[in-house]
Amino acid sequence: MQRAHVRVALIFGIILTLSAMAGACCDDSLEEPQVLHGRFVASIGEPALTSFGLNYQSFIFEVMTPKGRRFVRIMHAFALFEPQIPSCVLDYKQSYEVVATHHNACSASVSNMSKKYVFDDEGRFIGFKSAIEYSKGVPTLPIPHDEPLPCYVVSVEDVSLIQPLQ
């Protein structure tokens, strides 16, 4: 019985630690939010929603600049009761305006972001699978899979500012 309590306390401690680390990643930026114009190319599958700590959404976003296109990671950390980026953004025909803040700490390659560990029913590791879901109508794009993408974090307050462009 005591072992069960120790396990629960240990798991709870790990969750709190990870939440604090994620909060540190996403909350203490000195940079000002920027307005990005572009398209949502794909969604990166994240773990199931939890009411303990923060949940995450990650997207690959194609930013159009005067110098051409570039790909960035859009990340959003939220509690279960806070707004999420809606799945309807996964339509490549639609361009969006996104208010987000640049964060070096969450930059990652598409290969690393989308790699999910697979375990069998008995908990043994059996391999990896890709957890990437491309937007509806996305063409073949030159997305750099092994280079870290710059990361931009959308705050809970800025989720409602994600607007389709006309």
Q: Give the count of domains, the chain.
A: 1
Q: Is the pLDDT confidence value at 27 over 60?
A: no
Report d(CA 78, CA 15) in Å as an integer.
14
Report d(CA 132, CA 69) in Å as an integer.
20
pTM, whole model, 2 decimals?
A: 0.75
pLDDT at 28: 47
| DSSP run (H or E) holding 10 | helix 2-27
User: pLDDT of 99-148, one tens digit each?
Assistant: 999 998 889 888 888 888 888 888 888 888 778 889 999 888 888 888 99
Q: Which residues contact 48 (CB under 8 A, 6 or more apart)?
A: none
What b/e readout covers 49-80, taking b as 16+ CB neighbours within 10 angstroms?
A: eeeebbbebbbbbbbeeeeeeebbbbbbbbee
pLDDT at 94: 94
Determine the structural domain holding residue 135 and report its residue range. 2-164
